[in-house]
Amino acid sequence: MKDFQLLDWRSASGLPYDIFLKNQEELAGRRLRGEIPDTVVLANHPPTITLGVGRLREQLAAIRPLPRIYLSLSDETVLWDMSREYLQKHFGIALIRTKRGGKVWYHDTGVLHWYVIAETSPHFPAQTVHRLEETFYRALVALGLPVRRIPERHERGAHSYLGVWSGEKKLAAIGVRVTAQGGRWVSQFGVALNVSPDQKGLRLIDPCGITGKDATSIAEIARPDRMPTEESIVYALTDAFSEVFEATWAKDQEKKVAGYA
């Protein structure tokens, strides 16, 4: 069994994504140095679209309202700057590149993020992804939600289909990064679950860059009389995570780490 601590960085306005990235790097550094145990961070963010480590132009093409003429620009620095300015000006949405796997995703305060900063093996980063997918699938099934996984998701070129779906719409996306120091390997990032985000925001993207697909949310798929609270979702996730990762939770759960509020 592995001991985990659970930190809660959620707030009414959400943690700005650029600040989260800095805080996550500091947590990962502390984990690499053995200063803290394996950690799960709960977070939400103001309206933001994030990209993964893939090709910039390809990921920007998955942002639906972005003027297509931008994609013909040869200078990627200019393309990036114009895309960020357009989304901020017209939609009030930040655009941020990250070092995680996966592609484009929409975030806001109605999206529950489950970030895992934990020691792992350099040989099994994919195992972390598959375990996270299993965790969220089990938790959402336990809540009685109509969810599924795409059978072809493990085939070559189909990794964007990893995650949890409801019908033909994507409900939860996974993106992970592994960093190393002194012979230790630590995971970062994790899963974004659409609980009750702005539906207009979800419609701005091809989720994970999949053309012709939409994202959905628990608020959209749950029966009105059986909409789970976010806390009940968190409880279901902690139970499923304990089973899948063979994890135990610290008895004293800090709400925030000093300096990360």
Q: What is the CATH number of the domain that holds 171?
A: 3.30.930.10
The whole-angstrom separation of Cα 255 and Cα 8 is 5
Q: Is residue 259 part of a domain?
A: no
Q: What is the pTM of this model?
A: 0.92
Q: Give the annotated binding-site residues.
A: 100-107, 173-175, 190-192
* Tens of pLDDT, residues 126-138: 788 899 999 999 9
The whole-angstrom separation of Cα 49 and Cα 39 is 25
- Clarify whether 208 is annotated catalytic: yes
Nearest alpha-carbon partner for 16 in 97, 106, 94: 94
Nearest alpha-carbon partner for 189 in 40, 38, 62: 40
Q: Is residue 116 part of a domain?
A: yes
Task: Given the residues 7, 171, 208, 236, select the one marked as catalytic.
Answer: 208
Q: Is residue 62 part of a domain?
A: yes
The whole-angstrom separation of Cα 121 and Cα 124 is 5
Q: Nearest 5 degrees, angle CA 49-CA 50-CA 52?
A: 155
Q: Is residue 255 part of a domain?
A: no
The whole-angstrom separation of Cα 175 and Cα 188 is 9
Q: Is residue 260 part of a domain?
A: no
- Of 111-120, 231-240, 249-258, which gets the smallest average pLDDT? 249-258
Write down the mean pLDDT value for the chain. Answer: 92
Query: Is the pLDDT reported for residue 106 higher than 60?
Result: yes
Q: Give the annotated binding-site residues for substrate.
A: 100-107, 173-175, 190-192
CA distances from 11 to 77, 110, 121, 237, 250 (A): 33, 11, 32, 19, 22
Q: How many domains does the chain have?
A: 1
Q: Is residue 258 part of a domain?
A: no
Q: Is residue 127 part of a domain?
A: yes
- Residue range of the domain that includes 180: 2-249
Give the rounded percent of residues in the chain with a pLDDT score beyond 90. Answer: 81
Q: Is residue 256 part of a domain?
A: no
